[in-house]
Structure 1
Amino acid sequence: MTFDALHTTAAAARAVLTRGGHYIAIVKGNRPVLLDEVAALPWRQVPTGDRLREHAHGRSEIRTLKAACPRGSAFPGAVQALRITRKRSNAEDQGYSSETVYALTDLHPHQADAAELAAHARGHWSAENKNHHVRDVSFREDACKVAAGSAPHALASLNNLLKGVFAHAGYANTDHARREHTNPYRAYDLLFGQHRRSTT
């Protein structure tokens, strides 16, 4: 199972492990202590384990993955830390952007090599690609500091509910829908006015 940053919690990791599963958990700024722990590893000394170059839509993207041992990590079951770097170039203006993401996994090297870990990470982002911008930018899930108990899952469920309500109301743009319903009366009408109209 792959976790986005909002769901990278000890409880979620334990739930997967107790059921005999494995996880790759993305670590971002909403878990500052964990992020500092992983980012502080001696990554310059770690050789690149996997490198993939792709071309699509006039852009070139290079993804690299490094794996290291996070000694003494308090995160349940973590035996490998990952650093995934994605560099994108645009053929038109020759500009490029770079993004580095960290992750933890309970998978040992003999269970999944660097290429397999990179494939799991790509699979996560391809599955999340349609919704990630909405979750990260519109709902700011990756920056959320809610971590206690089942609160992250409850918050994600509420965000899913809002997305569904907006889609049902005919909004294609979640940001636009949120801006239009910051007024509590308009929000109430969206939730309950539509219900009254649909049942009459």
Structure 2
Amino acid sequence: MPPSVSGFAGSTYALRMHRQVIHKDSGQVSEETDHAITSLVRTPQDFYALWRGHWQVENRLHHPRDTVFGEDASRSRKGAAGLMYFRDVLINLLHLHNLSPLRSIRYFSANPNELYQLLCPS
């Protein structure tokens, strides 16, 4: 029988990442601890890179979808997956043009013709 961590079949490592976080808005420092269980065999540096990579996705895609488009508060159920994909395409398009999603949405709300030019270049 393969080794396991705390009864999780197939798992070989229990990880804990402890760090201090400086909050941009208030400048206050807090401490956070995250935990993971995995069957991957990697070096601590590799685990750290994987962990950071996850947060890059969260910060680059999921956070803007919620803060810019209010996705978590949305009551839309029909077509929710389609809206999510549309938002992802739009956010990635803005990133390709080195544009901030929040600033861009505000700008394009006031200038829809320029958004059209971005989406349909001639």
Taking structure 2 as the reference length, what is the TM-score of the superposition?
0.54
> Corresponding residue for 1:163?
91
Q: Give SS of 1:144's match.
A: coil
Alignment counterpart, residue 154 of structure 1, candidates 74, 82, 86: 82
1:54–1:62 contact (8 Å) kept in structure 2: yes
Cα deviation per residue 1:139-191 (whole Å; 9 max; x = unaligned)?
Answer: 1111111112xx011000110121122122221x1101111111221211221
Match of 2:118 in 1: 190
Q: Which residue of 2 aligns with 1:179?
A: 106
Aligned-pair Cα RMSD in Å: 2.8
Q: 1:127 to 1:167 in 2, by over 3 A?
A: closer
Gaps of 5+ in 1: 1-51, 65-114, 117-122
Distance 2:16 2:77 in 1: 35
Q: Normalization by structure 1: what TM-score?
A: 0.35
Partner Cα distance (1:127, 1:142) in 2: 19
Bigger relative contact order (CA 8 A; separation at least 6): 1
User: Please, which runs of 5 or more residues in structure 2 have no aligned partner?
Assistant: 1-14, 22-29, 38-50
Between Structure 1 and Structure 2, which shows a larger proportion of strand residues?
1
**Which residue does 1:57 correspond to in 2?**
20
> Does structure 1 retain, via aligned residues, the 8 Å contact 2:65–2:88?
no
Paired letter, 1:184: P
The separation in 1 between residues aligned to 2:19 and 2:33, in whole angstroms, is 11
2-structure distance, mates of 1:142, 1:154 = 15
Q: Which residue of 2 aligns with 1:145?
A: 75
